[in-house]
Structure 1
Amino acid sequence: MATKTLLLGLLSLVNLAACHDHHNEPEDTQKPFIGWTQDDLDAKWGTDWGFSGISTFAHLDHHRCLQYPDMEYDIAILGAPFDTAVTYRPGARFGPRAIRTASARQTAFRGFNPRANLNPYQKWAKIIDCGDIPITPFDNALALRQMSEAFTNLAHSKAPEKNAKSSVPYRNIPKLLTLGGDHSIALPTLRALNKIYGNVAVVHFDAHLDTWHPAKYPSAWIDKDDPAQQSFFTHGTMFWLAHNESLIAKDKSVHAGLRTRLTNIEDNEDDDAQGWVRIACDDIDDIGVAGVAKKILSHVGTETPVYLSIDIDVIDPGLAPGTGTPEPGGWTTRELIRVLRSIDSLNIVGADVVEVSPAYDGTGEVTALAAAQVAYEILTSMVKKGLDNGSKGKGKDEL
């Protein structure tokens, strides 16, 4: 009986405490949404932690831009989950998902980049995540057609009105940052850019040339003199194909971070004939980050439209193992980022980060994290390029 009385007494105390807490709650919680403005709701419920929310790049708003062609943006993140043109390890179809996941700690409210004195997510640019191109893994001819059509359609998207009519030319045309996918996605991207800008320069960070003639992969099954063969489309030949389609500006393009084995010295001679300048991986030890950046800028210039293409295997596989064609002896993640920061005056009209293959990454997601940081640096450079001339270096913006 005493126990029962004690339990009843404790329950009464709990009920009293609950009633007390209930009566002391803010009045607005008792009247859900009544009198609340959208700003109130956004302030209370509109922010994610790094570990919460739907997985978009840096928690950006997601729009399926290919389905809604009237969608306006200044810079869009687009996934190209394609990897059936690889020559060694597949898996980069999962790259866009991995990079988005690795970008989770990037948020608009804590996105300030001290090296550029700006927050790319809170400046002039409307940046969104356009989702992925639904690319077939069964038919590379169809996949190339899908990507070419997708990139071409998005290349004709509109910037928001205030930027479409801005006095800062860089703002007038929307830009795409593509998350690969294997490196072959650069070909359909260059096709799309050509329709807007004409021939563009390519600044290409990679362990490999990717300008190889397709017949350098020996096979008795192909006709090396027939450039229309579908098997010629690979992640090591797409710049050769782009050159043949006259998509690349003559004598304006640069490779950086090269260190792979060659078929023979003729590979470099073929590369010369296509108008490229080569910066070897080892050059960073001899001329440093500043020397590498100076060589790129002096060759390309700051007004030439540039497609910036970054294969994650430019980083040493000890630091970025999750990739399809790893080559030991590469740059550190820090060295790559420092070079990118030193060439932010380039006129980047499109970019990609490719060849992240998360199946080969470690539990710490180091390759995906490196790719997400590289993407953030590219976004920073794009936004910085679009600042009005009177405020560059001060981090201010033209409203």
Structure 2
Amino acid sequence: MKNLKRINFLGFDSSYPESDIVFFGIPFDGTSSYRAGSRFAPSFVREASESIEAYSISLNKEIGEEKICDVGDILLTYGNAERSIRKIGSVVRKFLRDNKKIFAVGGEHLITLPIVKELYKKYKDVRIIYLDAHADLRDNYLGEKYSHATVLRRICEFFPCENVFVWGVRSGEKEEITFGKENLNFYLIEEYESFIKKVKNIPKDTSVYISLDLDVLDPSIIPGVSNPEPGGVEFNELLKILYEFRSNNVVGMDVVELTPHYDNSGVSNIVCAKLIREMVLIL
């Protein structure tokens, strides 16, 4: 109906053909094991974006300067992770075929798996920046091979591990940490300096994809996440890390694991929306 209001994130209003960046939601939380509800994040974040400015003081850039199309959410069948993975992959494949940069809002972290699969087909040199409080390197979790807790392990089965850079980890099984240290560029949260030194060596013309699990932040800043983990990074510290990639060839990003209903104040939604604004402006 013409009288109904459709909310685009920060008013993104470019048409698909003219856009450089495609913004879309992936409302999937089918394997969430603790606090489900991240499937509602895309709509809540769009609503929260109406309460923040389109201008970034830190970057001195305005969202309106970018050609961004908010295409809405991918329609998924709930209860079948593998089917959802295939559907996400097919949608992302089209965006990449049309030479779009992509920005996805989950949803749980499993959504990153099909995105990376499609990215790797197009950009063989792509580096994955994976910011997360958890290792996500279990071989299976609760009997499932495809889970938010196994996503990085599944990625490592087809993607060169030496091109994955992980930071922020402060929780995981001993076997996960060992696997990460032996196979990936894997840094615990206290190894910030080593992580930054490593990513600074990524060639500037090399494609980069950034995956941000919001639980890398301390729960005092963003309590509304699926698996909150004490001892996290501060908001401005996280921005400082993200800004390190301003001069890289960033081809896509995702933000995952916001669970809006676990923060009745709405602050978590605002924090997420502001992070997305800053991230989009370095695409």
Asked if Structure 1 and Structure 2 have the same fold, meaning a TM-score greater than 0.5 normalized by the shorter chain, the answer is yes
- Output the CA distance in 2 between the equivalents of 1:119 and 1:102: 18
- Shift, 1:250, TM fit: 4.4
TM-score normalised by the chain length of structure 1: 0.66
Alignment match of 2:154 (pick from 241, 252, 274): 241
Aligned partners of 1:293 and 1:343 also within 8 Å: no
Q: Which residue of 2 aligns with 1:232?
A: 145
Aligned partners of 1:57 and 1:129 also within 8 Å: yes
Q: Which residue of 2 aligns with 1:119?
A: 62
Q: How do 1:326-337 and structure 2 match up within 5 A?
A: 326-337=228-239
| 1:178 matches 2:87 | no
Alignment match of 1:293 (pick from 196, 203, 208): 196
- Output the CA distance in 2 between the equivalents of 1:242 and 1:250: 8
SS in structure 1 of the partner of residue 225 of structure 2: coil
| 1:147 matches 2:81 | no
AA in 2 matched with 1:280: L
Aligned partners of 1:76 and 1:130 also within 8 Å: yes
- Shift, 1:377, TM fit: 1.1
Alignment match of 1:278 (pick from 186, 196, 217): 186
- Output the CA distance in 2 between the equivalents of 1:179 and 1:118: 21
- Output the CA distance in 2 between the equivalents of 1:301 and 1:257: 22
Q: How do 1:245-260 and structure 2 match up within 5 A?
A: 245-246=158-159, 249-260=160-171
Q: Which residue of 2 aligns with 1:213?
A: 139
- Shift, 1:141, TM fit: 2.2
Q: Which runs of 4+ in 1 moved over 4 A?
A: none
Aligned partners of 2:22 and 2:95 also within 8 Å: no
- Shift, 1:211, TM fit: 2.4
AA in 1 matched with 2:226: G
Alignment match of 1:348 (pick from 242, 250, 267): 250
Alignment match of 1:366 (pick from 259, 267, 280): 267
The structure with higher relative contact order (CA 8 Å, sep 6+) is 2
| 1:263 matches 2:164 | no
- Output the CA distance in 1 between the equivalents of 2:87 and 2:5: 30
Q: Which residue of 1 aligns with 2:223?
A: 321
Unaligned regions of 5+ residues in structure 1, if any?
1-51, 66-70, 158-172, 220-230, 383-399
CA root-mean-square deviation: 2.2
Alignment match of 2:10 (pick from 58, 65, 72): 58
- Shift, 1:209, TM fit: 1.2
Alignment match of 1:375 (pick from 266, 276, 281): 276
Change (3 A) 1:277 1:74: same
Q: How do 1:129-148 and structure 2 match up within 5 A?
A: 129-148=70-89
TM-score normalised by the chain length of structure 2: 0.91
| 1:202 matches 2:128 | yes
AA in 2 matched with 1:114: I
SS in structure 2 of the partner of residue 324 of structure 1: coil
Q: Which has the higher helix share?
A: 1
- Shift, 1:273, TM fit: 4.0
- Shift, 1:306, TM fit: 1.1
- Output the CA distance in 2 between the equivalents of 1:318 and 1:332: 9
- Output the CA distance in 1 between the equivalents of 2:51 and 2:128: 30
- Output the CA distance in 1 between the equivalents of 2:78 and 2:170: 30
- Shift, 1:252, TM fit: 2.6
Change (3 A) 1:218 1:142: closer
- Shift, 1:322, TM fit: 0.7
Aligned partners of 1:152 and 1:191 also within 8 Å: no
Change (3 A) 1:218 1:179: closer
Structure of larger gyration radius: 1
Change (3 A) 1:258 1:93: same
AA in 1 matched with 2:230: P
Alignment match of 1:309 (pick from 190, 202, 211): 211
AA in 2 matched with 1:128: C
Unaligned regions of 5+ residues in structure 2, if any?
none
Alignment match of 2:23 (pick from 67, 77, 93): 77
SS in structure 2 of the partner of residue 99 of structure 1: helix
How many pairs align?
280
- Output the CA distance in 2 between the equivalents of 1:121 and 1:207: 33
- Output the CA distance in 1 between the equivalents of 2:229 and 2:257: 13
AA in 2 matched with 1:296: V
- Shift, 1:53, TM fit: 5.5
SS in structure 1 of the partner of residue 282 of structure 2: helix
SS in structure 1 of the partner of residue 84 of structure 2: helix
Aligned partners of 2:125 and 2:206 also within 8 Å: no
- Output the CA distance in 2 between the equivalents of 1:140 and 1:292: 32
AA in 2 matched with 1:263: E
- Output the CA distance in 2 between the equivalents of 1:199 and 1:238: 20
